Amino acid sequence: MLLSIGTVMGESVDEKTVALHSIGCRTNQQEMTVLKQELLSAGYSIVEKMGDARLIIVNTCSVTSCTESKTGRWLSSISRDCPQAQILVTGCFAQQKKQQIASIKGVRWVVGNREKNNIVAIIEQNQGGVFCPDICSEDALLHSRTAIHGVDQKRTRYSLKIQEGCSFGCAYCIVPSLRGPSRSLKRNELIDAVKTAVATGYKEIVLAGTHIGQYKDPETGGGFLELIKELVNTDGDFRIRLSSVDPRDLSDELMEIVGSEKKVCDHLHLSIQSFSAEVLKKMDRPWSDLQSFVQRLRGFRKANPSAGLGGDFIVGHPGETEECFLETLNQIESIGFSYGHVFRFSKRPGTKACDLKEQVPGFQKSARSAALRKTLTTCRRAFLSGLVGETFKIIVEAEKPVRGVTSNYIKVHVPECTATRNTWLQVRINEPDADGYCIAEKSRMEGKI
């Protein structure tokens, strides 16, 4: 039970009202979906505005120092703007900087990744503090429970976490020390969750996790491909979208499934980071077969010209010369990416890259980041222009105006059209706009699902 009831604008605030906020990856979002259902089951009410909440729960990210700094400032502002609320901070930032977060005024609980399953119990005990035991290999999968109590009125996709943690050791990455090694849910539990979600009304299932390609059924040993194949054979009117995949897990068979299987979105998002063998070697990522990987991506693009192909890229990693950066820039153009996310290298204490020599100056990181974003924008506009006249199916996410996302990850606006939210709508792509969206019109032609 929470402490005494606060007030907002002179009115009482129910002590069991909660506002939830997630920062960072899709895995964090899925964890908050599960936590929301646990809170509702425990008698709490979820509110949208933090000013209306007696309790604010924030699931945080620690992927870069910039993210941590912004989150710290934001948490301080919440305390000032919402004095009636008690704040619980969880996630990777909580795991990484627990004492720093605990010192922020208004923060009553700091809950690490290992204790996320126990958040409701921690709140009910009414004893604030820091709950951040170290991550260890014996940990059970965090937030392995699936909770579906009807379609979320604000979401049309169901994000399903299939695994947690990462067993790779990239030089720049702090995530393994904050989330632990890779652990996976049982395949039969995932299949049951998908069946329930589809029966409930969800039309897109997003497979999420820290590193989904490392999925391995703890009972049968079956891997990621086996899981996808079984999901494809599940009855129902739905599609499957893969979240970020590591190049080490991108088999020819997986590319074939993404390119040809109707129930799997023709959309690949890859955590590439760099197309320079020299930089990849310093990152402790596979580098010797880089040219083979590039050729395979070109083959995928040639066979699937309308497929969405995105990537994560890091600029300014220690040892990245201008020539190394240009290799990445040129390969992105030659392969034909449809979009990408750009991150400037950030020193993470406790990682190998933090202590490497040849650190890249900040002004060079900024310049390279701007150049890469410009190239990706040009690639996206060319990709979208090539799809004018094509027809696709979207899931309607908003009705006024009608908006949605295609299988190949194009966000579209459909003006002068009426459609019901969370239904399929076939559209014809007309033209891209300046923001990377597409203007579309309703189509009666048979399109791609």
Query: Does 343 reside within a domain?
Result: yes
pLDDT tens sequence across 179-207: 888 889 999 999 998 998 898 889 999 99
Q: Any idea which of 106-115, 413-422, 433-442 has the lowest mean pLDDT?
A: 433-442
Q: Which of 103, 131, 159 is the last residue of a domain?
A: 131
Q: Is the peptide bond before 349 cis (omega within 30 degrees of 0)?
A: no
Domain identity same for 276 and 379: yes
Under DSSP, the state recorded for 51 is: G
Query: Does 228 reside within a domain?
Result: yes
Q: Which of 131, 148, 174 is the last residue of a domain?
A: 131
Domain identity same for 275 and 356: yes
Domain identity same for 330 and 408: no
Query: Does 265 reside within a domain?
Result: no
Please, which residues have CB within 8 angstroms of residue 209's CB and are 6 or more apart in sequence?
27, 161, 162, 163, 164, 215, 243
The predicted pLDDT at position 445 comes to 55
Candidates 18, 24, 45, 21; CA nearest to 32 is 21
Domain identity same for 207 and 177: yes
Inform me whether the pLDDT recorded for 363 exceeds 60: yes
**Could you tell me the CATH number of the domain that includes residue 189?**
3.30.750.210
Domain identity same for 219 and 288: no
pLDDT tens sequence across 38-60: 898 889 999 988 888 999 999 98
Query: Does 261 reside within a domain?
Result: no
Domain identity same for 376 and 399: no
**Could you tell me the CATH number of the domain that includes residue 302?**
3.30.750.200
Query: Does 222 reside within a domain?
Result: yes
**Could you tell me the CATH number of the domain that includes residue 432?**
2.40.50
Inform me whether the pLDDT recorded for 91 exceeds 90: no
Is residue 400 within 8 A of residue 361, CB to CB? The reply is no
Query: Does 260 reside within a domain?
Result: no
* Residue 404, domain extent: 391-442
How far apart are alpha carbons 51 and 247 in whole angstroms? 43
Q: Which of 131, 164, 180 is the last residue of a domain?
A: 131
Inform me whether the pLDDT recorded for 11 exceeds 50: no
Is residue 184 within 8 A of residue 215, CB to CB? The reply is yes
The predicted pLDDT at position 14 comes to 55
φ, ψ for residue 310 (rounded to 5)? -120, 170
Inform me whether the pLDDT recorded for 140 exceeds 70: no
Domain identity same for 58 and 113: yes
How far apart are alpha carbons 349 and 354 in whole angstroms? 6
Query: Does 377 reside within a domain?
Result: yes
pLDDT tens sequence across 338-356: 999 999 999 888 899 999 9
The predicted pLDDT at position 144 comes to 47
How far apart are alpha carbons 406 and 306 in whole angstroms? 11
Candidates 66, 250, 246; CA nearest to 170 is 246
The predicted pLDDT at position 142 comes to 45
Measured CA distances, 83 to 23, 80, 108, 156 (Å)? 21, 6, 12, 34
Domain identity same for 11 and 121: yes
- Per the document, the length of the chain is 449
Inform me whether the pLDDT recorded for 13 exceeds 80: no
Inform me whether the pLDDT recorded for 8 exceeds 80: no
Domain identity same for 280 and 364: yes
How confident is the model over 301-325, as a mean pLDDT?
Answer: 97
SS3 content of the chain, % helix, strand, coil (to 5): 35, 25, 40
How far apart are alpha carbons 308 and 268 in whole angstroms? 6
Query: Does 449 reside within a domain?
Result: no
pLDDT tens sequence across 234-291: 999 999 999 999 999 999 999 999 999 999 999 999 999 999 999 999 999 999 999 9
Q: How far from the centroid of its chain's Cα atoms is residue 84's Cα?
A: 31
DSSP 348-390: -TTSGGGG-SSPPPHHHHHHHHHHHHHHHHHHHHHHHHTTTT-
Which pair of structure tokens corresponds to residue 290? 């880089």
pLDDT band at 434 (very low <50, low <70, confident <90, very high): low
Amino acid sitting at position 280: L
**Could you tell me the CATH number of the domain that includes residue 17?**
3.40.50.280
Helix (H) or strand (E) holding 282: helix 277-282
Domain identity same for 305 and 236: no
Is residue 353 within 8 A of residue 320, CB to CB? The reply is no
Domain identity same for 80 and 57: yes
Number of structural domains found in the chain = 4
Domain identity same for 174 and 287: no
The predicted pLDDT at position 134 comes to 74
Inform me whether the pLDDT recorded for 212 exceeds 90: yes
